[in-house]
């Protein structure tokens, strides 16, 4: 048993049978033939025909123009009897909130029927046909609710491993259907919920915000479209202004060239006002306007005293800037462009963290400024970040982002939780080591690590094997490092084959760093998967991490751990790698575990009332948190220092019983 990222598609979803092997026209012809067969079939034989129709429909949904083709056939679908014998046969009783469960937890046929039903209702809303029990207005209202309730699927902002695993290839089909719906229904009915989701994600300060900026752009288009009647734009103005007009001189979004001309004609007080406006908008939202880099580069040449104001620095950040002024100026010159605006935020938070005061970091960043990239690294960066600026600019911008917001590292939709966790951990705890690894991978196309004295070279491991492709929807640092880290991680796993415990007992300290505790606890039996001395497992965690049982000793170094992830129905999904950051009281005097989750969205509903928080309980940017008993109820491995004194026997029996009840009511139900 290993910590496997539960985003890894299964064999069925990964191969996508039929989704790529048939041209759209051929697939449509086959579907039409099956639909005619269903329409002509006698009642007793319809079930067998429905299965064929649904199979072909599920494939069509995953094609770029497939949902539109099915939308055109909505009336034929209903008349042929696709919905007969199901709840979908009675659209008047359908409830929008049930789609949340169906689209995430349903079988392939159920998800397909749900999608076909939405397309049928869209045709009804647009008066393409009528229904005896549901009006077009009612259908329109229902679909607006569906969109609002499934924004995470529409924009792929949830990043939840449970959804991706369960939907497999259908995840793309569901998103295509929702995109078609919103094209016809519009955003005016869902803006409030959309704004709430955007603010919730921004509270976690992700490094990559392209998808969030795209959503804000769409919201702005809705608000300023005279043909769209928007009744509410609560919270939208702040986000739109943060991107397109954060200051007095940019308020009407004049364009970068015009703004550059305006800066040249400003006096000192006006420039000071501009600098403050940029800093307020950036720190308020975590978003950086393209106008901000224009101002930064202008200030670098003409008003350097305004740089700390434009960065919104506290005394700590100002001290770092003053001590390393030449380096900071070089970083601005090398990384801060309108195409890489988030580099400004990364730079500001890096200075605030005091990272530069660690002696190896400054020279490592000077090296990074002049690093010559190998061709594979260049290609990976261009795939992830585009070609708006040279690859080394995008990489340097991402370096600032990772060092500034270590918990903003996301794995995207890739099965790379181990590597994403490692990058985040090094950025937080060992930044000069991270910079060394970036240099090796980006310059030499190689990483060298050691496992119990044995040398492992990522380049040599790739020879004669299928090399993992660079992930696309991640920051440039991850795009460069992840393929190398994944090879080494899997090689370490292979070296542990045959040992009598979970491989991560040995892998994690060698892979992540010396500070990982050599003590190790596993909640399940390796061979059977059944709970194994679970009472002792829980007691040992409390004795090692809980301040009331470990002598009030705070966690000094972040520790890797593994969660047994469950869905919103508390059903087991898979194993997932996280980092325990700290255990402390929140403002309500409840003991909470604060941890880093590599998923794009750290907040998830794990079922049975266990909902991961990302703000409101003292979380730092990018942290997730749970009350300690809820966290331990989903924990299945953790590390500890065996030399630290611990007294598991002192742990309260009621606390252990509470944790065990939550575990047995979820992932451990059959264990």
- Cα 456 to Cα 104: distance, rounded to the nearest angstrom: 40
Bridge pairing between strands 559-566 and 572-585: antiparallel
Residue 207 CA to residue 477 CA, distance in Å, equals: 11
At 590-602, the pLDDT tens digits run 999 999 999 878 8
What are the residue ranges of helices labelled H in 370-475?
Answer: 375-385, 391-404, 417-429, 431-439, 458-462
Q: CA nearest 241: which of 201, 282, 193, 209?
A: 282
pTM score > 0.85 for this model? no
Higher pLDDT among residues 11 and 44, named by residue:
44
Per domain, the residue ranges of the chain are 11-185, 373-495, 519-664
What is the pLDDT of the chain when averaged over all its residues?
A: 89
**Quick one: which H or E segment has residue 624?**
strand 623-627
Specify the residue for token string 């740089």. 307
The residue among 316, 349, 318, 326 whose CA lies nearest residue 207 is 349
Helix (H) or strand (E) holding 575: strand 572-585
Looking at residue 106, its pLDDT comes to 87
Min mean pLDDT across 38-42, 292-296, 559-563 is at: 38-42
The DSSP H or E segment spanning 561 is: strand 559-566
Nearest in space to 213 (alpha carbons), one of 295, 286, 312 = 286
Q: How many residues does the chain have?
A: 671
pLDDT at 1: 36
Question: CA-based Rg of the chain, rounded to a whole angstrom?
Answer: 27
Q: Are 265 and 302 in contact (CB under 8 A)?
A: no
Other C-beta atoms lying within 10 Å of the C-beta of residue 214: 11
3-state secondary structure 206-253: CCCCHHHHHHHHHHHHHHCCCCCCCCCCCCHHHHHHHHHCCCHHHCCC
Paired strand residues for 624? 595
Cα 260 from Cα 438, distance rounded (Å)? 34
Mean pLDDT of 565-581: 88
Q: Which residues contact 132 (CB under 8 A, 6 or more apart)?
A: none
Structure tokens at 55: 């199979």
With DSSP H G I counted as helix, E B as strand and the rest as coil, what are the percentages for the chain, rounded to 5? Answer: 55, 10, 35
Task: Kindly state the DSSP code that residue 150 receives in the 8-state scheme.
Answer: T
pLDDT in tens, 336-366: 999 999 999 999 999 999 999 999 999 999 9
Determine the 3-state secondary structure of 468 from DSSP: coil
**For 119-170, how does the pLDDT look when each residue is reduced to its tens digit (9 = 90+)?**
999 999 998 888 888 888 889 888 988 887 787 787 665 445 556 666 777 8
Q: Rounded distance, CA 579 to CA 569, Å?
A: 24
């Amino acid at each position: 048993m290993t910590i496997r990222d539960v985003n890894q598609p299964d064999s069925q979803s990964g191969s996508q049978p039929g989704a790529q092997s048939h041209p759209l026209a051929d697939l449509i012809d086959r579907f039409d033939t099956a639909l005619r067969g269903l329409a002509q079939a006698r009642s007793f034989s319809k079930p067998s025909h429905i299965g064929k129709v649904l199979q072909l429909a599920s494939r069509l949904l995953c094609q770029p123009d497939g949902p539109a083709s099915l939308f055109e056939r909505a009336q034929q679908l209903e008349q042929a009897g696709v919905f007969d014998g199901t709840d979908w046969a009675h659209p008047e009783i359908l409830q929008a909130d049930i789609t949340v469960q169906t689209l995430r937890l349903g079988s392939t046929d159920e998800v397909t029927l749900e999608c076909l039903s939405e397309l049928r209702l869209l045709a009804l809303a647009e008066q393409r046909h009528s229904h005896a029990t549901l009006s077009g207005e009612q259908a329109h209202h229902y679909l607006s609710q569906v969109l609002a309730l499934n924004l995470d699927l529409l924009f792929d902002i949830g990043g939840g491993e449970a959804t991706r695993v369960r939907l497999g290839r259908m995840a793309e089909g569901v998103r295509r259907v929702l995109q078609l719906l919103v094209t016809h229904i519009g955003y005016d009915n869902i803006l409030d919920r959309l704004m709430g989701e955007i603010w919730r994600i921004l509270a976690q300060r992700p490094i990559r915000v392209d998808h969030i900026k795209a959503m804000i752009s769409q919201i702005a288009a809705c608000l300023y479209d005279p043909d769209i009647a928007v009744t509410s734009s609560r919270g939208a103005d702040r986000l739109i202004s943060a991107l397109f007009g954060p200051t007095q001189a940019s308020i009407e979004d004049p364009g970068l060239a015009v703004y550059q001309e305006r800066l040249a004609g400003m006096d000192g007080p006006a420039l000071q006002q501009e600098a403050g406006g940029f800093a307020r908008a950036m720190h308020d939202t975590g978003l950086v306007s393209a106008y901000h880099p224009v101002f930064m580069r202008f200030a670098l040449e003409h008003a350097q005293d305004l740089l700390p104001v434009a960065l919104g620095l506290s005394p700590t950040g100002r001290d770092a800037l003053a001590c390393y002024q030449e380096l900071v100026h070089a970083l601005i010159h090398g990384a801060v462009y309108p195409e890489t605006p988030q580099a400004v935020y990364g730079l500001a938070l890096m200075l605030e963290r005091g990272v530069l005061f660690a002696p190896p970091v400054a020279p490592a960043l000077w090296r990074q400024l002049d690093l010559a990239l190998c061709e594979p690294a260049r290609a990976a960066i261009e795939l992830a970040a585009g070609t708006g600026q040279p690859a080394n600019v995008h990489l340097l911008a991402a370096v600032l982002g990772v060092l500034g917001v270590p918990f903003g590292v996301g794995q995207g939709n890739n099965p790379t939780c181990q590597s994403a966790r490692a990058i985040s951990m090094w950025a937080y705890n060992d930044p000069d080591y991270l910079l060394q690894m970036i240099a090796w991978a980006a310059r030499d196309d190689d990483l060298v690590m050691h496992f119990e004295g044995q040398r492992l070279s990522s380049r040599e491991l790739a020879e004669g094997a299928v090399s993992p492709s660079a992930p696309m929807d991640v920051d440039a640092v991850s795009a460069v490092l992840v393929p190398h880290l994944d090879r080494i991680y899997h090689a370490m796993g292979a070296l542990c084959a045959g040992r009598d415990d979970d491989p991560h007992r040995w892998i994690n300290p060698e892979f992540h760093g010396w500070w990982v505790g050599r003590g190790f606890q596993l909640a399940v039996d390796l061979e059977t998967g059944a709970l194994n001395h679970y009472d002792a497992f829980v007691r040992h965690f409390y004795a090692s991490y809980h301040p009331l049982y470990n002598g009030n000793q705070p966690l000094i170094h972040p520790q890797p751990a593994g969660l047994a992830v469950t869905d919103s129905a508390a059903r087991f999904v898979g194993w997932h790698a996280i980092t325990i950051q700290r255990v402390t009281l929140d403002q309500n005097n409840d003991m909470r575990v604060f941890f880093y989750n590599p998923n794009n969205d750290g907040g998830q509903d794990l079922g049975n009332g266990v909902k991961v928080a990302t703000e409101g309980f003292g979380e730092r940017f990018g942290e997730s948190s749970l009350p300690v008993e809820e966290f331990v109820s989903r924990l299945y491995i953790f590390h500890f220092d065996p030399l630290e004194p611990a007294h598991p026997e002192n742990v309260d029996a009621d606390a252990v019983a509470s944790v065990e009840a939550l575990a047995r009511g979820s992932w451990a139900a059959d264990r």
